[in-house]
Amino acid sequence: MFGVAVAAGGEGILAEKLNRAGIRTMPIPFLQRDVSVIKEFLSLFALVKIFNRERPDIIHLNSSKTGGLGAVAARISSLVTRRSSLIVFTAHGWGFNEDRPYVARLIIFLAQWITVIFCHKIITLSKAVHSQAMYFPFSRKKIFFTEQGLQPIELLPREEAKKELISVFNKTNPSHKEFPGLWVGCVAELTKNKGVIYLVEAASKLTGCDSRLLILGDGEDRDKLELQISRLGLQNKVFLSGFVPDAAKYFKSFDIFVLPSVTEALGYALIEAGQAGLPVVATKVGGIPWIIKDGESGILVPPKNPEALAGALKKLLDDNGLRQQMGRKNYELISQKFSFEKMLKETIDIYNKA
């Protein structure tokens, strides 16, 4: 049995879900996504204070920034309290894969290596993340791979999902009361790493297809994407909803799911799309090929390639039989491979492993 408490920055939807589940939460003051040296030090001291007070047996860290700060704070706390905690870090991806200058990527590599050194055990989410972790010197014996899994999502029936999602989109697109044709769905944060800009360009190349591209999510590229949609004359074809809570419940409203990521450690949305029985078009990066079998449960294309995205989408839009076939195969593969119970057991085994 484990007693669980979660320390996190902010008071968003994660905190709400944890509170509803009866899990005790603790705020980390000043912790934010953007880098600020002063706030990083304040967050570090806040974490040391939390660890000194709570004296946990296991400190499980998530996200690159919290991984680094948390690992250092845990080591400081062990010196102060003279009590060791097992420090575990789940690597959801490596920042040096992002599209940055070489020097910046090298600095990120060194920073993440320090995180790995300071932790006792590292959990990787995909074979791609795991294989890259093997390049960190003096670290191989502490790196473990676990097959990820999600509990079954609560999917709305197709017609109910379509009706509710139309209502969601009408809040940001009041001039459109309905969305005819086939629906291509994308659920992603609107950032450079998700490659949505290439998806919008691909939509401009889908001539002769009665379809709508519905993009659920928000982020720093929202304004840029709105300008792109307007410039390409896609106001009647491509729609942005903004942030949508529990977006996965609407997946059955889609005919195809698309994820055009430039870099992606795993892609939980793809697992959710599989649970919904959707055929997928995605980029062949990171852990995505570990989820989607090219030519069987979906079509994989090179990143940053609007022409390839458009070609794959058109192939599925034009062939109802192929959509049905790939959707069924995706459901079958996801159901067999990504078990929440298996992931939980493997994680506990890592906690207990000497």
**Residue 35: what pLDDT?**
66
Fold match between domain 5-149+340-352 and domain 158-337: yes
* Residue 347, Cβ density class (10 Å: 0-12 exposed, 13-18 middle, ≥19 buried): middle
Q: How far apart are CA 317 and CA 217, in angstroms?
A: 23
**Residue 302: what pLDDT?**
97
For residues 129, 283, 193, 130, the Cα torsion angle rounded to the nearest 10 degrees is: 0
Helix (H, G, I), strand (E, B) or coil at 313: helix
CA distance readout (Å), 146 to 11, 58, 90, 113, 123: 29, 18, 10, 20, 7
**Residue 272: what pLDDT?**
95
* Other residues' Cβ atoms within 10 Å of the Cβ of residue 152: 9
**Residue 204: what pLDDT?**
96
* pLDDT by residue, tens only, the chain of 354 residues: 788 999 988 777 788 888 888 899 998 888 876 667 788 889 999 999 999 999 999 999 988 888 899 999 999 999 999 999 999 999 988 888 877 888 888 888 998 999 999 999 999 988 888 988 998 998 999 999 988 888 888 999 999 999 999 999 988 877 767 889 999 999 999 999 999 999 999 999 998 889 999 999 999 999 999 999 999 999 999 999 999 989 999 999 999 999 999 999 888 999 999 999 999 999 999 889 989 999 999 999 999 999 999 999 999 999 999 999 999 999 999 988 888 888 999 999 999 986
- Token pair 């609107």 is found at 190
User: Model pTM?
Assistant: 0.86
Q: What are the domain boundaries of the chain?
A: 5-149+340-352, 158-337
Task: With beta carbons less than 8 A apart as the criterion, state whether 9 and 43 touch.
Answer: yes
- Token pair 């949609």 is found at 229
Element (H, E) at 160: helix 158-172
Q: How far apart are the first and last CA of the chain?
A: 18
Task: With beta carbons less than 8 A apart as the criterion, state whether 46 and 30 touch.
Answer: yes
How would you classify the pairing of strands 238-240 and 256-259? unpaired
CATH number for the domain running over 158-337 = 3.40.50.2000
Element (H, E) at 290: helix 288-291
**Residue 60: what pLDDT?**
96
Joined together, the tokens standing for residue 273 give 């799309």
CATH number for the domain running over 5-149+340-352 = 3.40.50.2000
Which residues fall within 8 angstroms of residue 18, CB to CB, at 6 or more apart? 6, 25
Q: How far apart are CA 100 and CA 103, in angstroms?
A: 8
Q: How far apart are CA 43 and CA 27, in angstroms?
A: 10
Task: With beta carbons less than 8 A apart as the criterion, state whether 216 and 247 touch.
Answer: yes
Q: Please provide the size of the chain in residues.
A: 354
